[in-house]
Structure 1
C-alpha cells in the first residue's frame, strides 16, 4: 500500500456522458441529467478537472445543510499526490452533516472516499476523528485519516465500499465528528455498478452458504497477480484500481510471473463476466516455477493484514493461457491454513485456454487467535499426479463483509516509524523483463536456501525435544504443529507415556487412554471417507474401537493451530467426571506423537440443526418437543446436578446431538466455565460464544451467569419452532437475527406467521402459547428476568402434557421444576449421573477446539 496510487483516469461527464447500470446488468455511457453516478471534489465551488482530464463537480448542492460545514484549502502539497484535484480542497464538518444522493433502488453502488490528511486553515487533521455511515451501514468509526496515512506511509487514503441495493432510492452519506473533534473529506465518488457478488460457501463449512448480495462490503485488497498497476480507465468500466501483488508475497520465493502471448485471445464466457475483472488481469499470472521438485517443497503464499472478527470474501481470478488440457496442472488452495479447494484445475473450470474464471471463498477471521493476518497459499496436488507440479493465480481481491450490526469499521492502525519490507517494496519501480527474470532466479535460490535452513532447524529441534523428553519433561512443553514430527520408536514411547500420564491426571483416572495405533486402526488411518465433521479445531471421524465392536466419534485437533490445548484439557477435565443421559459421554483421549484426540459416543443422527431446515428428514412437532426437553435436562443438570455449577457458554443447535433413538445430548464443553460460588453473583470473563445465541447482557458486561445459557437455549427454542437458523444475513435487516425477529412478531401478535409451515398444523393452541411464552422469557434482556433452566424444563414438559392432554392442570413452575428434576435424577443410574468431585481447573477457553459435528464459527 506504499506504492503510488494513481487517481481514476475515466472521463465521466457529470451532466451528459455518465456511467449508468442497466437492468440487464450491463453498463453503458449515457447522456442523462438524472445521473446515477457522482464524482465530487469536496470544498470546491466549481467544476474542476484533475491531471488525467477527469471532471469533478462541487459537492455543495448535495449537502442537506451546507451552512454547517466549511470549505478549506490544504496548506501544503505532498509531492506524491497524483493531482491537486480533489486533494487540495476539503469539506470540514464540526457537527454531524449529511450528503443526500438520489440513486436507483435496484442497483449496487461503489462509494469511494478520498482523504488527504494535511493542515487546512486552522484545522490540524492529526486531531480529526470521525465516523461515516451510509444507508444504515457504519463504514468508518472514530476514523483518523492522519494515523492511517502515517501507519501506511501514504500521503493520501482511498476507502472503497460497495453498498447493497437500497429500497428508498436515496443514499444518505453521514459524517459524524467524534467528541471535541471534526470530520473532513476531499473527494466522494458514488458509482453505479452491476451485482458482481453471489452466494458463496464458508471455508471449512461446506453446508453454510452466504448470500453476498445481501451484504455491504469494503474493498481491502485488489491485486493484478504477476502483472503491473492497472489504472481505473483500463478497468472494464467499473473504475477500479488494481495493484502489483509482489509486496504481499510471503518469503523470498516469488515464483515466476508470466504474460500471455499477443496471439492468445482472452475470451470471456459472457458479456456480464467482463465486469468481474479487466482483460489485463487475465493476461498476466504468477506461478511457482519450472522446477517440480522445488515446487513440491514450498507454498506460493500471500499475506494480508486485515481487521479481526469479520467475515471476508476472497476472490481468486484464474486464466490459463499456456496449458489446454484437464489434469495438466492441479493444485490446492489454502486460506488461513484451511483447505478452500483440494483439486483446483483451471482448464476443468474454464473449459478452455484463455477463458477467465473466478472462485469465491468466505472465511471468518476470529480475534481470539490474536492474528490480524489473512493467508492465501497455493500448492501442487501431488496425489492426482498432474503433468506439471505447479499452481497459478492471475488476480486476487479481498472484501470485508458487514457484520450483524451493519458495521464495517475496524480500528485505526498502529503507526510505525520504520517501513516494513512490504511497504518498501511497494515504492520500488516496476521491474523490466530482464530484472524480473533475474529476480525469479534469485527467488528460487533464496527459496531453496530457506528450505534447507528450515530442514536443518527442524532436525535440530527434534533432537532438542527428544533430549528434553529423556530428561522427564512433559510433551506439553512443545506441541509441534506438524503431524508425526517424532517418528522414532524411542520418541514415540516417550510421547505416549507422557500423554498417558497427563490424560490420567486430568481425568482423575476416569478417562481412558488410547494409543495412536488404536486410533489409526479405528479410522482406517484417518481416512477421508470417515470424516463426519470439520471445523477450526480439525476433523471428526466416525471410527471403531475394541475390535470394531463400538462405534465412536473421534475428534482430532488440527496440529497447524496451537489454540486447542486449553479446550482439550477442559473437555477431559469436565466430561471425564460427568455422566448423564443427556450429555455426550467422553470415552477417552489420545495424546501421542504431538496429537490431541478425543473419543466420544457416536451420535448417529447428527446435530439438531441438520433436522430443522435444509433437509429431507424434518422432525415432527412432538419429536422437536421431546428433543428440547432432553436438551433442557442436560443443561439443567450442568447448572444444578453437579458439585459445582457449570455454565456451558455455547448452547446452540449444532451442539445438541441426537443418538440413534433421537435422544438429545448436549455436547461441546470446550468453552464451559464453573459458575460463581455462593459469595458471587457472576463470573467475570472474556466474552465467548456464537453470534446469534450470545447473551446481550453477558456481551455488554462480560459477566457470565447460568442465565447466559438460558438466553442461548431460548434462541434454540425459536429455531425449533420456526425452522430457520439463528442468523440469516440474506434476509431483510429486521429478520437477520432470529431472536430479534421472534420478539418483534411476539409484540406485534403475528408470531404464527413465522412458525415452520412443516409443523404449523400439528401444534395444539395452548401448547404453542406456552412454548412461545417460555421462549420469550428466556430472551429477556436482563438475566434476572429470565427463568431458571429448571423452570424452562418444567414448562417444556408441561407443553408436552398439553399436547397429549390439553385439560391437564398447571402448577407453580419453579416448584414443579424442582420436583421433576429430583424424580429425573432418582431414575438415572450411577453410570448416567456422576458428580464433579473437585473444582475443575484450566477452564479458560482462549481458543476454539470443540464442536463435534457440523461445527459453526464462534
Structure 2
C-alpha cells in the first residue's frame, strides 16, 4: 500500500467521523419506504419500513407485492432494498404527510427483476406529484436496465400532503422498489446562479433531477457518510484521457475551515472537500477535461462545482479557469481572495447551462489562468474537488394525481358514495327550494347561465351576474353580452367593462383574437402569452392564455380567479372573465392601454420618446401602493401579492397604475399569528431576503418588493444587471449606497433629474430605504408607505414646502385619505358599493394612527 492510498484511507476515516459529529441537521420529514416488503429492511445505518406499515398511505387496490428470485441481486450496493417491489396494474399512488413544507429529496429506486407473476423489465409507466412530472416515460426494456437505477429529485413541496402517483402506460404495469422522501436544509439551493446566456444571474428553479454527483480525486462516498444520504462516485470514468495530460490526486489531513456564508457539511461531505484532483502543469497540456453523457434532447442543467484549496502553501497562488463546452464559467478564480486569505475552506459555485449540446455530452474543462502559466513551476496547478450535475425542467407532461380516497375498499367506496349522493341530493333539494322561494318572493328570479361541458364547481360570483342577449349588432344578431344586473345588491360596474369573473366560451375568444394570432400578442410571461382582443360588444380586453409548456398551472389559474372575483379597487386590474374549456386556461382582464410600468421606464419602439415624467412616476407609485394597501387591509386576513415588480404594475389610458398578476398571491396570517410559513415564490431581485431566508411570509414582504420598485422607478435601470461594473450590478445595493451618503441624486434617471426637487427626493429615498430594511419588522406598513408618497408629491408640487410644514394641521388634513375600509359605516357602503365606499371612490390609504405617528415623528421617516 503506497503513501497516497494510506493518506486517502486516513482522510476517509477522519471525514466519516467528522461527518457524523457534524450531522446536526435532522430532517423534519424522513420517509424511508421498502415497497412490497412486509417487514423493515436495514440498509447500512438506515431502516426502510414496509409500505403497509401505516407510515404512508398506499392509494390502490390494484397492486401486488412481489419478491425477486433468490440470487438475482448479487453484489449490488444496498442489495436488500431491491429484493422486493410493489407492482401497479392501474394508476396508484403513495401519500406522504408533510410536517414542514419546503425542499425535499424524493428518491425512487427501480430494479426490474422477473418474479413468478410479473416481468418488471416489461413495465412502462410515468411518475408524477401534484405539481410536477418526475418521469414521463420509464421503460426498463428500452433502457437496457439490468442494474438498480435510483432516481433522485429535489422538489419544493408546498402542500401538507405529497402524493407520488405511478401510472402504467399502454396497458402495461408500473413498479417501484423503494421510495425516500426526506427534508433538506432551506439553503441547499437558495442562491442564484450564473447562466451561459450572457453571464446573467438567475434564480435556481426547482424541481431538479440528479444526473451526476462526483467526488473528484477522492474515493466513492456511501450514503451513510453524507449528512443528506447522497451517494458520490469516483471521477476516473469521466476523466478524459489525452496525450500529455498528467494529474495527481490530493488528500488533505488538516482541519477544514468552514466560513460563514460559504459551503457547509450539508452541501458536500468533508471527504469531498479534503480530496481533489490537480493538473500537473506541463507545457504540452494545460487543462483537465471531464465528459458526461446526458440527454441528446437539449435541456437545461445546473452544474455545481466544489472547491477547497488544499494545495496552496500561501494565499493568492492558485488561479482557476472553468469552461463548460464553449461557455466560460469563471476565469482567474482565486479561492483565497474569496476567503480573505483563508485556505482550505469549502466553497461551491453554481452555473446554469441553458441548453446542452445536441450530441448529448457535457464537457467540463479546468485550466489555469494565463498569467500563472508563464511561471508554472512556482504555482500549483488548477484543482477541482467535486461536481454535481442536475437537470432542470426535466419534463413538461401533464401531472396525474390519485387522491387518497381511492385506497378504500369497494364496499367502503360504495357506502360512502351512496351516503354522499343521498345527503347531497337532500341538501341540494332544500337549497334549490329555498332559493326559488326567496327569488320569487323578491320578484328577481334570474335566468341561469348556460354552462360549458368543462364547467367547474368553483365558478365565483356566478349568482351575481346574468347572461343576456341583445338585439342585432354589427358583430351579428344575438351576440351574447355579459352585463351586470344593476338591481342586484352589491353589483359593481367596473369602468363600463363586462361583468367580472364570468366564464367565456372558447369560440368567442378564438374569434376575438383571430384564433390567437401572434400579431396580437402584447406580452408574455411564465403563465403564457397575452393577446389584445375586442369582445363582440366592443369591449377591449387583454386575454392571457396558458401555454402548454407553462410551469405555472391550475393552482395559479384558480388563485387569480378566486382572488380577483372577491376584490375590486381602482388600483387593481379587474378580471373580466375566464375560460376553462378542455385543456385551456384563459384569463380576461380589462385592457391597459399603456402597458406595464417597466415598459414605460425602459422604453422601446412602442414607447420611444414617451418616457414617464417624474410626476407621472410618483403618481404611478402612489397608485400601486394604494392597490397593495387594499390587498393588505380589505379582508380579515391580508392578501400578500408575492410578485410585486414593475412588469406587474400596469398603466391605463390615463396612466393610472393598477397592480396585476395575482397567480402567486397568498392569504396572510390570522390575527393571532405573525406569519405564514410557505415555499419561497417571487421574481429574482424583488424577493424579500428575510422571507427567502426564513420562509416566513408577511405583508412586509410586499413592502420590500415595493421598495425595489421605488428605486427602479427613480433610476430606470434593471434590478440586476451583470453587464455593469460589479458595484452597480445590484440596484438595491448600489442605490442604498448613495442614499446612505446623502447623494441619491447621483443615480436618478437623467431624463427626470432636472425636475426632481431635493426635498421630494430626500423623502422618497428615505421611504425606499425603510421599505428595504433587512428585517421585516423594521419596515413600514403599506399604509405608511402610501402616506409618505403622498407627502413626497406635496413636497414636489409646492414650491418652498419643507418637512417642518407637516406640523400644519391643514396640511395633514389635506394629505389624510378616508378611514380604514374595515371601519367604514353602512351609509358609506351604500354610497359606493363594494370597493367604492368612500367619497372619492377609493378605499383608505392610511389609518389615523399612521397620520398621528407621521405628525409627531417626521424626522424618523
**TM-score category (smaller protein):** 0.3 to 0.5
Higher relative contact order by CA 8 Å / sep ≥ 6: 1 or 2?
1
TM-score (norm 2): 0.46
